[in-house]
């Protein structure tokens, strides 16, 4: 909640920055808004945009030299917008006398010498601020140099209308007035008036006013710069600078403070023009007359309009809340909500996938992940995080950090480990058989002992903003690493490598993809063409992405790229999005799945499963390297679902302990036989109960004596719940030989 940090984040989002046209204009006329009005045919509104910015709008509409047009980004895709023509159209079809607002009358007298655009603008602006303004014109009429331009260029009507402002504002105009030639005369005038402004043409000296403030060495005397008065819009600008300087001077305020954004400056707004179709400007049928209404509307329609929204374009989450990062940041920290109710803000905070795509596409690299994580941490700390948001995910992580799953062993027959394999909890959940195959492969190819660590790196807790649980998980993983003698870790999980890289830099870690020796495995030929989906965790880790691709190429896969490198999207699991906002996660996955019709290949177990859930055919790279024995199509493999994932993990540990380290609870593992009739096997298959589970249940019952007896048949009922499923097995027999009669299961827990 650091205010400074919040302000920095807000300033990184440029969506609210002025477009190129408005920032190129010294008066900051919002030409983008004007074009929007013109496009709709609302020329009156378009004209009022101009009138809001300049004191002589009708004149400016006709004579402006339009520096805005020179910066117009439309030039990247066709001709720049004919802003000048649009302004003229607004003047013609919607021009009206602007309503003049006079602030409270102030009792100060100001003299303006010279009545070209600069002087006239200064006079009007100062009069609007409430000062008593007198205008001295050496000639017989105002705006002398403009009158010679001809009606075709600048209609007399325009001059007349704008100059009516002088009367309305009670500006005293004196014609045929001799202007002062020397300092003495100027000082004399200075006694009569509280402040003086001289247009450059009316200033008798060669030295000019200070370029930023127009102040001269005489306090209260301000003078214009000749070079600026060549350009009509700059002349108006100069008048506005003078008006501000005089206003500040008379109020005793600093002349220089906070004036950096006055005048033209380079726009910070980024507009991606790459995909815009080039369009030529609309030519008026009668150039003398200028645009007709229709022509103006058509030309105005060529305005993009400029806006950034680069992140919103690529992210379902940012699109969902119909806003952009600057506003999100503000609303999170001001505790306001986009829609009513505190819970809506919580949902918004918990729905971000933390995938980093916005940061990559943002011209200023604003990281919503950074903002959101800080917010989540704050919520957890202050007890405001709704438990249901991440409860399932944190419970799952608790399972992964419990004895049911954790393990840290040296290779069987070794007392030390040069390296250790960290498969990650999701691969262990969906494809425990791959963990076994990879570990076997590493043992065959690496000297010095390959240890095994089954653990969770804590990423779910980090994503949930739960720093305490995250620290615990990291501590446990570190302890396992130290216990094995601090070997180099080889991991199959992108989230693990990311977490270790960012938060446990002391642990050396490498991605598995460089450590697979295909020559040794000699897998069958892979499918011809697959589209690679990079998991979002390793977005910036080129070597991981490259490693996976090298392996795929070795497998003979023709790789299709889904996007430019670094622009992968999340599958919906990142940031725990699928727990906090399943609908949005679905859309995120769906959008990604729809990017190509080709089957996907990825190297994150979670990504693969999430695509499968959306009906998108996807394989894990390990499916290609270690194809299933039964020849089943790996792309058609379904997402195992949340309970089966936990069982997968638990089963993996038990199997490894038993098969590799020869550790089981029951010594009678070799001692007993299990007889299962064909019909019973079929029933088990139908009920999706593994023989493995039946065996373990019987083992458990026999070892602990925890079983029920059915006096009628004399059969025993074993009951066993290894993780999320309770198995009941009806069996009979003894002394090392048992017969299974029936088995069923349920997920509900009963106490």
Partner 1 sequence: MSCCPAANPTAYETGVLAASGQRLPHPGGAELTRHAIESAGLRAGARIVDLGAGAGKTVELLRTMGFDAVGVEPRADKPSAQTGLCVRATAESLPFPNGSATAVLAECSLSVMGDWERVLAECARVLERGGRLIVADLYARNPEAIGRARALGHSAIAGMIVREELQASLRAHGFAAELWEDHSRALREFAARFLMYNGSLTQLWGCAGTGASAQEIESAMKATRAGYFLLIATAGNAHRSTPPRSTQWI
Partner 2 sequence: MAEEAELMCGKCKQPLVKAQVVASYLGAEFPIELLRCPGCGVVHVPESLATGKMFQVEQALEDK
Q: Which of partner 2, partner 1, none interacts with 341 (beta carbon under 5 to 8 A by kind)? A: partner 1
Q: Which of partner 1, partner 2, none interacts with 340 (beta carbon under 5 to 8 A by kind)? A: partner 1
Beta strands at 737-746 and 726-734: parallel, antiparallel or unpaired: antiparallel
- Closest CA relative to residue 66, chosen from 230, 229, 233: 233
Of 413 and 711, the one with the shorter C-beta distance to partner 2 is 711
Q: Which of partner 1, partner 2, none interacts with 101 (beta carbon under 5 to 8 A by kind)? A: none
User: Closest distance between partner 1 and the C-beta of residue 590, in Å?
Assistant: 13
Q: DSSP 3-state assignment of 632? A: coil
Q: Which of partner 2, partner 1, none interacts with 728 (beta carbon under 5 to 8 A by kind)? A: partner 2
Q: Which of partner 2, partner 1, none interacts with 413 (beta carbon under 5 to 8 A by kind)? A: none
The 8-class DSSP code of residue 524 comes to P
Q: How far apart are CA 492 and CA 454, in angstroms?
A: 12
Of 415 and 750, the one with the shorter C-beta distance to partner 2 is 750
Among 5, 208, 276, 745, binds partner 2 (CB under 8 A): 745
Considering only residues 382 to 411 of the shown chain, the ones binding partner 2 according to CB under 8 A are 391
User: Closest distance between partner 2 and the C-beta of residue 721, in Å?
Assistant: 11
Q: Check residue 746 for interaction with partner 2 (CB under 8 A).
A: yes
Q: Check residue 344 for interaction with partner 1 (CB under 8 A).
A: yes
**Positive or negative CA dihedral for 279, 280, 285, 286?**
positive
Find out whether 127 and 102 touch, Cβ atoms under 8 Å.
yes
Q: How far apart are CA 451 and CA 448, in angstroms?
A: 10
Q: DSSP 3-state assignment of 522? A: coil
Q: Which of partner 2, partner 1, none interacts with 707 (beta carbon under 5 to 8 A by kind)? A: partner 2
Q: Which of partner 1, partner 2, none interacts with 289 (beta carbon under 5 to 8 A by kind)? A: none
Q: DSSP 3-state assignment of 439? A: helix
Distance of CA 2 to the CA centre of its chain: 20
Among 596, 726, 732, 739, binds partner 2 (CB under 8 A): 726
User: Closest distance between partner 1 and the C-beta of residue 369, in Å?
Assistant: 24
Considering only residues 563 to 592 of the shown chain, the ones binding partner 1 according to CB under 8 A are 583
Binding segment toward partner 2, per CB under 8 A, in 346-354, 411-419, 650-658, 741-749: 741-749
Q: Check residue 615 for interaction with partner 2 (CB under 8 A).
A: no
Rg of the chain over all Cα atoms, to the nearest angstrom: 38
The DSSP-derived string for 248-273 is HHHHT--SSTT-TTSS----------
Binding segment toward partner 2, per CB under 8 A, in 9-17, 284-292, 631-639, 724-732: 724-732
> Which positions from 372 to 391 touch partner 1 by CB under 8 A, shown as an x/- string?
----------------x---
User: Closest distance between partner 2 and the C-beta of residue 713, in Å?
Assistant: 6
Q: How far apart are CA 382 and CA 130, in angstroms?
A: 52
* Site size with partner 2, rule: CB under 8 A: 30
User: Closest distance between partner 2 and the C-beta of residue 456, in Å?
Assistant: 21
The DSSP-derived string for 45-86 is HHHHHHHHH-SSHHHHHHH---HHHHH-GGGGGBSPP-HHHH
Of 533 and 707, the one with the shorter C-beta distance to partner 2 is 707
Q: Show the DSSP H helices in 411-508 as ranges.
A: 425-430, 432-445, 459-463, 467-483, 494-503
Of 136 and 644, the one with the shorter C-beta distance to partner 2 is 644
Of 227 and 744, the one with the shorter C-beta distance to partner 2 is 744
Q: Check residue 340 for interaction with partner 1 (CB under 8 A).
A: yes
Residue 178: other Cβ atoms inside 10 A = 8
Q: Which of partner 2, partner 1, none interacts with 347 (beta carbon under 5 to 8 A by kind)? A: partner 1
Residue 554: other Cβ atoms inside 10 A = 15
Considering only residues 677 to 716 of the shown chain, the ones binding partner 2 according to CB under 8 A are 687, 701, 704-713, 715-716
Strand partners, 710: 715
Q: Check residue 583 for interaction with partner 2 (CB under 8 A).
A: no
* Exposed / middle / buried, residue 424 (Cβ in 10 Å: 0-12, 13-18, 19+): buried
Among 5, 273, 276, 742, binds partner 2 (CB under 8 A): 742
Among 320, 377, 728, 733, binds partner 2 (CB under 8 A): 728
- Closest CA relative to residue 438, chosen from 465, 419, 463, 458: 419
Considering only residues 646 to 705 of the shown chain, the ones binding partner 1 according to CB under 8 A are none
User: Closest distance between partner 2 and the C-beta of residue 656, in Å?
Assistant: 29
Binding segment toward partner 1, per CB under 8 A, in 252-260, 343-351, 485-493, 605-613: 343-351
Q: Check residue 341 for interaction with partner 1 (CB under 8 A).
A: yes
- Closest CA relative to residue 199, chosen from 259, 262, 143: 143
User: Closest distance between partner 1 and the C-beta of residue 343, in Å?
Assistant: 7
Find out whether 719 and 697 touch, Cβ atoms under 8 Å.
yes
5-9: long-range pairs with CB below 8 Å, 24+: 5/374, 6/329, 6/330, 6/333, 9/325, 9/329, 9/366, 9/370, 9/371
Binding segment toward partner 1, per CB under 8 A, in 1-9, 116-124, 339-347, 536-544: 339-347
Among 582, 628, 673, 682, binds partner 2 (CB under 8 A): 582
* Exposed / middle / buried, residue 153 (Cβ in 10 Å: 0-12, 13-18, 19+): exposed
How far apart, in Å, do the first and last CA atoms of the chain sit? 44
Find out whether 316 and 351 touch, Cβ atoms under 8 Å.
no
Burial annotation 688-701 (CB, 10 A radius, 16+ → b, else e): ebeeebbbbbbbbb
User: Closest distance between partner 1 and the C-beta of residue 389, in Å?
Assistant: 12
User: Closest distance between partner 1 and the C-beta of residue 742, in Å?
Assistant: 24
Considering only residues 136 to 195 of the shown chain, the ones binding partner 2 according to CB under 8 A are none
Find out whether 495 and 511 touch, Cβ atoms under 8 Å.
no
Between CA 627 and CA 635, with CA 632 as vertex, the angle to 5 degrees is: 80
- Closest CA relative to residue 448, chosen from 477, 475, 402, 487: 487
Binding segment toward partner 1, per CB under 8 A, in 69-77, 187-195, 341-349, 413-421: 341-349
Of 339 and 550, the one with the shorter C-beta distance to partner 1 is 339
User: Closest distance between partner 2 and the C-beta of residue 315, in Å?
Assistant: 24
User: Closest distance between partner 1 and the C-beta of residue 339, in Å?
Assistant: 5
User: Closest distance between partner 1 and the C-beta of residue 750, in Å?
Assistant: 12
* Cis status, amide bond into 305, omega within 30 of 0: yes
Considering only residues 441 to 480 of the shown chain, the ones binding partner 1 according to CB under 8 A are none
Of 222 and 321, the one with the shorter C-beta distance to partner 1 is 321
Q: Check residue 747 for interaction with partner 2 (CB under 8 A).
A: yes
Q: Check residue 638 for interaction with partner 1 (CB under 8 A).
A: no
* Exposed / middle / buried, residue 748 (Cβ in 10 Å: 0-12, 13-18, 19+): exposed
User: Closest distance between partner 1 and the C-beta of residue 582, in Å?
Assistant: 8
User: Closest distance between partner 2 and the C-beta of residue 257, in Å?
Assistant: 59
Binding segment toward partner 1, per CB under 8 A, in 185-193, 336-344, 563-571, 688-696: 336-344
Among 355, 730, 738, 740, binds partner 2 (CB under 8 A): 730
The DSSP-derived string for 306-328 is ----HHHHH-HHHHHTTS-HHHH
Measured N-to-C along each axis, helices 156-168 and 117-128 cross at an angle, to the nearest 10 degrees, of 40
Q: How far apart are CA 47 and CA 89, in angstroms?
A: 9
Among 343, 488, 529, 746, binds partner 1 (CB under 8 A): 343
Element (H, E) at 36: helix 31-39
The DSSP-derived string for 186-197 is HHHHHHHSSEEE
Q: Given the rule CB under 8 A, which residues bind partner 2? A: 391, 582, 687, 701, 704-713, 715-717, 719, 726, 728, 730, 742, 744-751
Q: Given the rule CB under 8 A, which residues bind partner 1? A: 339-344, 347, 388, 583
């Amino acid at each position: 909640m650091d205010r400074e940090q919040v302000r920095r984040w807000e300033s990184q989002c440029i969506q609210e920055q002025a477009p190129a046209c408005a920032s190129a204009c010294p008066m900051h006329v919002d030409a983008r808004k004007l074009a929007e009005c013109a496009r709709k045919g609302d020329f009156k509104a378009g004209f009022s945009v101009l009138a809001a910015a300049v004191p002589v709008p009708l004149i400016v509409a006709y004579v402006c030299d339009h520096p805005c047009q020179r910066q117009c980004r439309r030039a990247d895709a066709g001709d720049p917008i004919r802003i000048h023509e649009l302004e003229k159209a607004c003047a013609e079809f919607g021009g009206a006398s602007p309503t003049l607002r006079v602030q409270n009358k102030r009792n100060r007298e100001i003299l303006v010498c010279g009545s070209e655009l600069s002087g006239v603008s200064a006079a009007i602006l100062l009069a609007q601020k409430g000062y008593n303004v007198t205008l001295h014109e050496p000639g017989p009429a105002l705006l002398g140099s403009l009158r010679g331009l001809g009606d075709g260029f600048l209609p007399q009507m325009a001059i007349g209308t704008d100059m009516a402002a002088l009367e309305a504002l009670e500006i005293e105009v004196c014609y045929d007035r001799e202007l002062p030639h020397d300092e003495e005369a100027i000082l004399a005038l200075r006694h009569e008036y509280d402040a003086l402004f001289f247009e450059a043409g009316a200033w008798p000296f060669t030295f000019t006013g200070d370029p930023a403030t127009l102040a001269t060495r005489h306090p209260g005397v301000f003078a214009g710069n000749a070079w600026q008065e060549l350009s009509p819009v700059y002349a108006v600008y100069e008048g506005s600078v003078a008006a501000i300087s005089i206003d500040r001077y008379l109020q005793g305020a600093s002349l220089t403070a906070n004036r950096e954004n006055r005048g033209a400056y380079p726009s910070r707004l980024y507009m991606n023009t790459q995909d815009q179709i080039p369009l030529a400007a609309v030519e008026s049928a009668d150039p003398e007359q200028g645009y007709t209404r229709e022509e103006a509307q058509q030309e105005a329609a060529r305005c993009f309009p400029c806006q950034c929204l680069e992140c919103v374009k690529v992210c379902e989450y940012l699109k969902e809340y119909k806003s952009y990062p600057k506003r999100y940041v503000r609303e999170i920290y001001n505790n306001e909500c986009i829609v009513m109710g505190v819970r809506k803000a919580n949902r918004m905070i918990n729905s971000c996938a933390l995938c980093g795509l916005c940061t990559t596409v943002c011209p200023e690299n604003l990281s919503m992940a950074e903002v959101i994580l800080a917010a989540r941490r704050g919520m957890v700390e202050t007890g405001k995080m709704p438990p249901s948001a991440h409860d399932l995910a944190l419970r799952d992580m608790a399972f992964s950090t419990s004895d049911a799953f954790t393990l840290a062993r040296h290779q069987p027959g070794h007392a030390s480990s040069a390296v250790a394999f960290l498969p990650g909890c999701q691969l262990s959940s969906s494809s425990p058989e791959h963990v076994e195959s990879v570990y076997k492969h590493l043992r065959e190819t690496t000297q010095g002992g390959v240890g095994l660590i089954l653990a969770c790196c804590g990423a779910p807790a980090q994503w949930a903003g739960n720093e305490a649980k995250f620290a615990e998980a990291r501590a446990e993983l570190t302890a396992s690493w130290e216990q094995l003698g601090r070997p180099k870790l080889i991991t199959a999980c992108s989230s693990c490598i990311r977490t270790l890289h960012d938060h446990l830099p002391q642990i050396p870690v490498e991605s598995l993809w460089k450590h697979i020796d295909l020559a040794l495995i000699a897998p069958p030929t892979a499918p011809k063409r697959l589209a690679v989906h990079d998991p979002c965790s390793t977005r910036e880790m080129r070597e991981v992405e490259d490693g996976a691709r090298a392996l795929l190429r070795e497998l003979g896969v023709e790789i299709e790229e889904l996007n430019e490198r670094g622009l992968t999207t999340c599958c919906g699991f990142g940031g725990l999005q699928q727990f906090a906002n399943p609908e949005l996660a679905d859309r995120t996955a769906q959008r990604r799945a729809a990017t190509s019709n080709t089957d996907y290949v990825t190297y994150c177990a979670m990504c693969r499963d999430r695509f499968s859930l959306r009906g998108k055919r996807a394989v894990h790279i390990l499916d290609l390297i270690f194809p299933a024995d039964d020849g089943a199509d790996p792309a058609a493999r379904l997402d195992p679902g949340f309970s089966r994932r936990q069982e997968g993990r638990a089963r993996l540990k038990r199997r490894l302990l038993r098969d590799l380290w020869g550790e089981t609870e029951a010594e009678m593992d070799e001692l007993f036989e299990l007889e299962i009739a064909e019909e019973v096997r079929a029933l088990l298959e139908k009920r999706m109960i593994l023989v493995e589970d039946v065996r373990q249940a019987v083992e458990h019952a026999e070892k602990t004596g925890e079983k029920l007896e059915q006096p009628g048949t004399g059969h025993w009922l074993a009951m066993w719940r290894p993780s999320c499923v309770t198995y009941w097995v009806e069996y009979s027999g003894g002394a090392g030989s048992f017969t299974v009669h029936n088995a069923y299961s349920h997920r509900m827990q009963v106490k």
